[in-house]
Amino acid sequence: MTIKVIIFDFDGTVADTFDVLLTISNNLASEFGYAPTSPEEISQIKNLTTREIIRRSGVPVYKIPFLLRKVISELNSKIHVLYPVEGMKAALFELKRQGNKLGIITSNDRENVQIFLQNNGLLELFAFIYGGTRIFGKSRVINSFLHQANLCPEEVIYVGDETRDIEAAKKSKIRIIAVSWGFNSQKILKQQKPDFLIEHPHQLVEVIKLLQNPPI
């Protein structure tokens, strides 16, 4: 069945936010009672699932939504100086040129996403933006979107950089393109068995073209 909508995660997938989010997270460590991440620990953390990272931090589950809101609030002051992942802007324009409908579902704030897209000349490419989803709540938003848009799961594909993106897509029974340039490593993403695993934004165009025109 032809893909009608491509849904993107935002942080780490479209926007190159890893370094600034790491800095914000480290600055909030003492307030929320977890250890800051050292440069030496970054590669280790990238090899953990989102749930493993939360367990490792020791932050109580009930505090996670408060921490997430604080991180997003702090990001608002930095959003003006952030840029897309290298190669992503060209890939998005090409996907749009080919007639694909693009959207974003993210845990980040919708306003942050809009400011970023506007500043980087990308806002007109996206038909919708759903922000503020719970850290493990993307599948519910995806399901709501499918219902409202009267779409079958086979007509939608999700693009994300974290294991929780793969988890959400599988719960919603939609295909997932995992990208290795964001928050999780290629190794841990591969273990979660996404439908596709890519290393550069230009491969997005290749995968979507393959799905739109499958070999006979």
Please give the positions annotated as active site: 9
Q: Are 158 and 142 in contact (CB under 8 A)?
A: yes
Residue 177, classed as helix, strand or coil, is strand
Measured between alpha carbons, how far is 74 from 76 in angstroms, rounded to an integer?
A: 5
List the beta bridge partners of residue 175: 157
Residue 71, classed as helix, strand or coil, is helix
Report the candidate in 68, 79, 127 with the shortest Cα–Cα distance to residue 101.
127
Angle, CA of 146, 8 and 133, to the nearest 5°: 70
